[in-house]
Structure 1
Amino acid sequence: MNHVLIVDDEAEIRTSLESILSEEGYTVTTAATAGEALELIRDADYGVVLLDIWLPDKDGLETLGEIRRVEGAPEVVIISGHGTIEAAVRATKLGAYDFLEKPLSLDRTLIVLKNAMKARQMRDDNQEFARQLAVKGPVTGQSVPMKALRQQIKLMAPTNGRVLIFGESGTGKELIGRAMHAESLRKDRVFVELNCAAIPEDYIESELFGYRNSAVPGGPAEKRGTFERADGGTLFLDEVGDMSLKTQAKVLRALDEQRFLPVGASHPVHVDVRVIAATNKDLEEEIARGNFREDLFYRLNVIPFYVPPLRDRKEDIPLLVKEFLQEFGAQYGRPRVEMSEEALGALKQYHWPGNVRELRNLVERVLILNPKANRIEKKHLPMLVYRESPKNAVRGEEFATLLEAREAYERDYILKKLDECHGNVTRAAEGLGLERSHLYRKMKTLGVSVKE
């Protein structure tokens, strides 16, 4: 979605903006009056509206209110040649994404427009997720832990209490966070996520709080951080236990005051954000080691959630497999694939160190590697699932020789490590304790490709 509507009574501004934005790849429509703009918005789907605050037939802020009431409303950026702090605050309260002063700065206009487009896309994604929730529920499973989790979501989602989700990697902590947002009072606002473990320490502060006045060399003139982009909505901080103590202190202050100072800025930014955090670490143990602030833990841990590992709810595996087969079957043009009881039984015997994410990846891989099979049998499954426990070897009766068994085990173990490293051979080699060139030779011998 890259359709922009420019609403301004000055023909020169409309023409100039239309030319610039068209060169940037946007589809642009223009209007000179509020009435014309409202008619266009009701007839077409726009991502962002650049709306002048002074229009000949109607006040721009009044028009903003009418736009916000349209179903599937675009994001609105107010532009004005008579900008005041009072007008900017009022526009924000009425639902404007941002406020730009004339004469417009090209760099700032493009940055704000790009971020507004992302916000609109996120809102659409959240609404689609909410529709899916209404059909199949927030989490798949009929086990006791999953029923209890759904009940907890239903009770706690409508509140503004901060949430801390505990669980191993791959259990679906982000899914729970999205479900909380989709059933909350903020469901019509944005859901912004940040993986704290994936951002280098030198950049995480600017990712969280943004910056102004070209404070980051090589970057754009300014950037809105995740706290600012999540204003009015929900901020999901994944792997919060991996933040440094320095960053934790700044997050703590932002939570307490609901305001922060972007890097290079002279004035603080005030926000209204609900924070949902997630971790795969024991934070109380991290506190004892001096790696996590106790005061931040208590700020985040208002409503604790625990997502059980897949090995503790194996009765949910058939339902999850059915869901994944439907998802990937539709994606790969094979809507009627099913899995045999024998194959499901083998999956239930596996200990699932990668949890639901590992099961999902396995189902996709099996479909890709067996393009003609409408029924997934035990023989189609990777040998990893045949292990009776993490320490036991594969069952020898599946192979004619020990060499075949060893090669099958090595092949599936390498595939699993590549899955964990998202196809990054260098990281996979480090995890396997091999030289990169040695791993490439081993992959070639076993018939493993990075794509697979």
Structure 2
Amino acid sequence: MGRVLVVDDEAAMRFALAELLREHGHEAVLAPGGHEALASLDRVDTVIVDYAMPEMDGLELLERIRQRDASIPVVMVTAHGSERLAVHAIQRGAYDYLHKPFEPDELARVIDRAVEASLLRREERRGRIERSVGKRVIAESASMRRLLADVERIARRDITVLVTGESGTGKEVIASLLHAQSPRANGSLVRFNCAALPGELAEAELFGHAKGAFTGASAQRSGFFARADGGTLVLDEVGELPLAIQAKLLRALQNGEIQPVGAGRTDRVDARVVACTNRDLEADASSGRFRSDLYFRLAVVVLRVPPLRERREDIPALARELCARYGERFGIGDVRLSERLVAELARRDWPGNVRELENAIARLVGLSDGGEIDLDRLEDARPAPEPRESETEGAGLSLREQVQAFERGLIVRALEEAHGNQVRAAQALRTSRATLIDKMRKYGLRRPSDRDDEDDDDT
């Protein structure tokens, strides 16, 4: 079964074709002309279009559809005796053609083949995407399918891209796809969090520094830009960059030149920049909080990642994928979500987007004993409520306690990402394994049976 868009300016023909399609198991979407068809394109697998239409004929619509998404098969309907026109349509990219009048079985055979081809192309595209980033990418919704098609097309063109979207929508995944599907895929993918460091340190980390440029600069060091030479530099939360650094970033984008801090020279770099932000940079540029010239340099192409509430069709597949992932990570084995639970998850808005859904699934799976998780366990997925001000008055943590809590959180996260491997966790934290073990003891993260001389794969 496929969703077939029928485009014809004659109402009687539209409804006749729709009835034929339904009899053969397909769902019909109707459009009286080219403009209406383009507005409905994201929701269909195949298009049947009549050639002779006012305003926009079938060939022009075919060209517009192929510009939007060349993977959608288009079947052209022509008048009897228009073989030359039919051949021209095939040369322009049509999947097949039908001559009026045509037999219902003939229509069914052509559409069945076109729908099958469309679904196969979609699976092939999804397979390429997943292989490029090493993880499954969920795109059941029309908005995500269109976004991934845009990513695939733009990735091949060496231009700067601005990825926008609310926190937790998966902007970093889109940035990874842009790199993996680009001619720079064999180069380095380097990420820099613009909000992670104060201005002076951010500048040195981004552009590098000379020996003695500031206190503690005991040696020359290359920056993130230089490390991305020949590859892609992803600037996370680019809207948080101080204005002074924005000027140097603009120069790097305009001229391909960077100046390390404290160095009296400029270096050439060849790095594609993908910037990500959850802020309205256009508004920030208008108000002076962000350089307008830099905004226009970054926003050569803007890709918006839709929030989860705008792509509810993706939630069931996302929830099941996350359930399987955390079931394997936690060593639970067979664990699954009931249909009632999945339906309720799909109804919720998830203001924290995919990140919030992932945390909810992780809590559900972590608290389960395996088997099917039903709707009555959904409250387990809710985070603990924030204490009211009256409850916390006079009970705030000291600076030392806050630092210890932050340090413990970093260690827990590193151990989770290393699947409990202490050597890899210590490497991620840039410390020794012995120091990590001491910290784990301090924060109660070691079991009584753990030994100092345990194997690398022990936790």
Q: Same fold (TM over 0.5)?
A: yes
Indicate how the Cα distance of structure 1 residues 438 and 369 shifts in structure 2: closer, same or farther if over 3 A, else same.
farther
Picking from 200, 203, 214, the partner of 2:201 is: 203
Aligned sequence identity (%): 41
Aligned position for 2:374: 377
Matches within 5 A, 1:425-440: 434-435=392-393, 437=395
Picking from 247, 252, 255, the partner of 2:245 is: 247
> How far apart, CA to CA, are the structure 2 residues paired with 1:436 and 1:173?
39
Aligned position for 2:385: 413
Q: Is 2:260 aligned against 1:288?
A: no
CA contact (8 A) 1:194 1:237 kept: yes
The TM-score, its normalising length taken from structure 1, stands at 0.57
Aligned position for 2:219: 221
CA contact (8 A) 1:138 1:179 kept: no
Which whole-Å deviations, capped at 9, do the CAs of 1:5-25 have from their partners, x for residues lacking one? Answer: xxxxxxxxxxxxxxxxxxxxx
Which whole-Å deviations, capped at 9, do the CAs of 1:26-60 have from their partners, x for residues lacking one? Answer: xxxxxxxxxxxxxxxxxxxxxxxxxxxxxxxxxxx
CA contact (8 A) 2:133 2:180 kept: no
Matches within 5 A, 1:248-263: 248-263=246-261
Alpha-carbon shift at residue 288 of structure 1 (Å): 2.1
Moved more, 374-383 or 163-172: 374-383
| CA RMSD across the alignment | 2.9
Which whole-Å deviations, capped at 9, do the CAs of 1:148-175 have from their partners, x for residues lacking one? Answer: 0110011111110100001000000010
Indicate how the Cα distance of structure 1 residues 356 and 161 shifts in structure 2: closer, same or farther if over 3 A, else same.
same
> How far apart, CA to CA, are the structure 2 residues paired with 1:135 and 1:264?
37
> How far apart, CA to CA, are the structure 2 residues paired with 1:378 and 1:436?
39
CA contact (8 A) 1:166 1:173 kept: yes
Indicate how the Cα distance of structure 1 residues 134 and 291 shifts in structure 2: closer, same or farther if over 3 A, else same.
closer
Picking from 174, 177, 191, the partner of 1:176 is: 174
Aligned position for 1:141: 139
Alpha-carbon shift at residue 132 of structure 1 (Å): 3.9
> How far apart, CA to CA, are the structure 1 residues paired with 2:206 and 2:153?
29
Aligned position for 1:124: none
Picking from 231, 252, 265, the partner of 1:267 is: 265
Which whole-Å deviations, capped at 9, do the CAs of 1:398-440 have from their partners, x for residues lacking one? Answer: xxxxxxxxxxxxx6334xxxxxxxxxxxxx999x994583589
Alpha-carbon shift at residue 322 of structure 1 (Å): 1.6
Q: Is 2:296 aligned against 1:333?
A: no
CA contact (8 A) 1:163 1:302 kept: yes
Alpha-carbon shift at residue 242 of structure 1 (Å): 1.0
Alpha-carbon shift at residue 130 of structure 1 (Å): 7.8
SS, match of residue 143 in structure 2: helix
One-letter code aligned to 2:395 = S
Indicate how the Cα distance of structure 1 residues 436 and 153 shifts in structure 2: closer, same or farther if over 3 A, else same.
farther
Alpha-carbon shift at residue 131 of structure 1 (Å): 8.1
One-letter code aligned to 1:248 = Q
Indicate how the Cα distance of structure 1 residues 271 and 135 shifts in structure 2: closer, same or farther if over 3 A, else same.
closer
Indicate how the Cα distance of structure 1 residues 138 and 373 shifts in structure 2: closer, same or farther if over 3 A, else same.
closer
Picking from 296, 299, 303, the partner of 1:298 is: 296
Moved more, 176-185 or 324-333: 324-333
Indicate how the Cα distance of structure 1 residues 135 and 253 shifts in structure 2: closer, same or farther if over 3 A, else same.
closer
CA contact (8 A) 1:231 1:271 kept: yes
Alpha-carbon shift at residue 219 of structure 1 (Å): 4.0
Gaps of 5+ in 1: 1-128, 386-410, 415-427, 441-448
> How far apart, CA to CA, are the structure 1 residues paired with 2:347 and 2:361?
16
SS, match of residue 413 in structure 1: coil
The TM-score, its normalising length taken from structure 2, stands at 0.56
> How far apart, CA to CA, are the structure 1 residues paired with 2:301 and 2:215?
39
> How far apart, CA to CA, are the structure 1 residues paired with 2:267 and 2:393?
48
Which whole-Å deviations, capped at 9, do the CAs of 1:232-290 have from their partners, x for residues lacking one? Answer: 00000011111111111110011111111101112211110000001101111111221
CA contact (8 A) 2:133 2:177 kept: no
One-letter code aligned to 2:375 = K
Aligned position for 1:158: 156
SS, match of residue 150 in structure 1: helix
Aligned position for 1:11: none
> How far apart, CA to CA, are the structure 2 residues paired with 1:196 and 1:329?
34
Indicate how the Cα distance of structure 1 residues 293 and 133 shifts in structure 2: closer, same or farther if over 3 A, else same.
same
> How far apart, CA to CA, are the structure 2 residues paired with 1:436 and 1:244?
36
> How far apart, CA to CA, are the structure 1 residues paired with 2:221 and 2:232?
19
One-letter code aligned to 1:413 = P
> How far apart, CA to CA, are the structure 2 residues paired with 1:149 and 1:191?
21
> How far apart, CA to CA, are the structure 1 residues paired with 2:388 and 2:205?
30
One-letter code aligned to 1:355 = N
CA contact (8 A) 2:338 2:373 kept: yes
Which whole-Å deviations, capped at 9, do the CAs of 1:67-125 have from their partners, x for residues lacking one? Answer: xxxxxxxxxxxxxxxxxxxxxxxxxxxxxxxxxxxxxxxxxxxxxxxxxxxxxxxxxxx
Picking from 346, 349, 358, the partner of 1:348 is: 346
Larger radius of gyration: 2
Between the two proteins, the alignment pairs up a number of residues equal to 276
> How far apart, CA to CA, are the structure 2 residues paired with 1:194 and 1:180?
16
Aligned position for 2:232: 234
CA contact (8 A) 2:132 2:177 kept: no
> How far apart, CA to CA, are the structure 2 residues paired with 1:284 and 1:141?
28
Indicate how the Cα distance of structure 1 residues 225 and 313 shifts in structure 2: closer, same or farther if over 3 A, else same.
same
> How far apart, CA to CA, are the structure 2 residues paired with 1:312 and 1:136?
25
Matches within 5 A, 1:20-31: none
One-letter code aligned to 1:373 = G
Indicate how the Cα distance of structure 1 residues 321 and 199 shifts in structure 2: closer, same or farther if over 3 A, else same.
same
Indicate how the Cα distance of structure 1 residues 136 and 189 shifts in structure 2: closer, same or farther if over 3 A, else same.
closer
Moved more, 328-337 or 351-360: 328-337
Alpha-carbon shift at residue 218 of structure 1 (Å): 2.1
> How far apart, CA to CA, are the structure 2 residues paired with 1:227 and 1:253?
12
Indicate how the Cα distance of structure 1 residues 185 and 374 shifts in structure 2: closer, same or farther if over 3 A, else same.
same
One-letter code aligned to 1:366 = L
CA contact (8 A) 2:341 2:374 kept: yes
> How far apart, CA to CA, are the structure 1 residues paired with 2:157 and 2:351?
33
Indicate how the Cα distance of structure 1 residues 187 and 134 shifts in structure 2: closer, same or farther if over 3 A, else same.
closer
